[in-house]
Amino acid sequence: MRLHEGPVRPLPIDDWCAPASADEVELLAGLRGPVLDLGCGPGRLVVALGQLGIPAMGIDASPRAIGLALAGGAAVLERSVFDPLPGEGRWPSVLLFDGNVGIGGDPVALLRRVRSLLAATGLALVEVEPPGTATTTTRARLEWEDETTTWFPWAWVGVDGVDEMAASAGLLCRRRRVVGARWFAELIADAT
C-alpha cells in the first residue's frame, strides 16, 4: 500500500489470500453467528466460520476480492460497507480484521456504521494497531504487479485510541486482546 504522504507500507497479501490462521480460527470460534465480515477480501474468514459451523457473510467493494472469495466458496456481496446491507441492526457479530477499521479514512464514521449493523447485544471484533501507535488518516492506493488503484481515504487506529473512538460511535470497548502479535478490540453497544 502506498501512502499519499509517506512510505510504501507492505501488505501481507500471501496471508490475506491464505486460509485463516490458527490464531484467527481461535478468535472466530468464540463468535455468535451469523457473522458479517466487513472488507472480507478473498473471504478466508467467511470460509473459516463456515467450517466452524457458524453462518457468515462477507462484504467487499473490490470486484477482484469478491471474485477470489466466490472462487473459494465464501458467501459474499460486492458492496461498500456504507451501502444498504442485509440484516441491518440484527447482526450478532461484525468483523473488521486486517486494519479494515481504516476503511473510508474516518474510523468514527465507520464504527457508527458498525453500530447500526449490530444487534442490541452484538459484538464487533476490530483489529487495531499495537500500543504506542498513533491514529493516523491519509490517502492510499494499492500497487501490485501491473495494477494500481486510485487513491482512497484510509486510517490506522492504535489500540490506545480505541476507547474514545468507540464512545463517539455509541460503542464500548469491552476488552482488548492480543492474539499472536495482533491486537483486537471487542466493542459492544453502549446501552447508556
CB neighbours (10 Å) of residue 118?
24
- Nearest alpha carbon to residue 18 among 125, 98, 88: 98
Q: pLDDT digit of tens for each residue in the chain (192 aa)?
A: 444 455 555 555 667 678 899 999 999 999 999 999 999 999 999 999 999 999 999 999 989 889 999 999 999 999 999 999 999 999 999 999 988 898 899 999 999 999 999 999 999 999 999 999 988 888 776 666 677 777 778 888 999 999 999 999 999 999 999 999 999 999 999 876
| DSSP 3-state of 170 | coil
pTM across the whole model: 0.90
Q: What does the block give as the cell for 82? A: 456504507
User: 2-189, which class in CATH?
Assistant: alpha beta
* CB hemisphere CA count around 70 (13 angstroms): 10
Domain range list for the chain: 2-189
